[in-house]
Amino acid sequence: MPQVNVTALKGLVQEAGKGGLFVEGLAGAGALAPTATPDTITPGATATISVTTTSTLIENTEATAATLPDGLAPAQLKRIRNNAGSVGSVTLTPSSFANGTTITIIADQDILLMWTGSTWVTLQMSNAVIA
């Protein structure tokens, strides 16, 4: 699996490696490397999505609201999935979002975001609504 390194001198560089995204200056080697298990939030009350994992899986039994804090470093990626079998939508409110204010993700769909250093931007979305 390719490894992506981000450095001040070379910028974004893809190399052979153990996989993941490594950003120069972040505490801990591989601080943004993919985790084996995504974090999971439970539906109901408003949840805060973790920025210390690369993915969040939402098992939804009702409409859920979630917030997404600022990222840790430029080029950080975050995938959020409303899992298959979920029956409600997820309304996500990032702390700072270049494409709008909220993202509504329906069941069995996901979105991929990137932190620029000052705002989240949409890289990919599957049947989500941005408002």
Distance CA 54, CA 84 (A): 19
Which tens digits make up the pLDDT trace of 108-130? 888 999 999 999 999 998 888 99
C-alpha–C-alpha distance, residues 73 and 31, integer Å: 10
Domain range 35-130, CATH architecture: Sandwich (2.60)
Q: Where are the domains of the chain?
A: 1-33, 35-130
Which pLDDT tens digit goes with each residue over 23-52? 555 444 444 444 545 666 766 667 888 888
Encode pLDDT of 64-87 as tens digits.
889 999 999 999 999 988 886 667
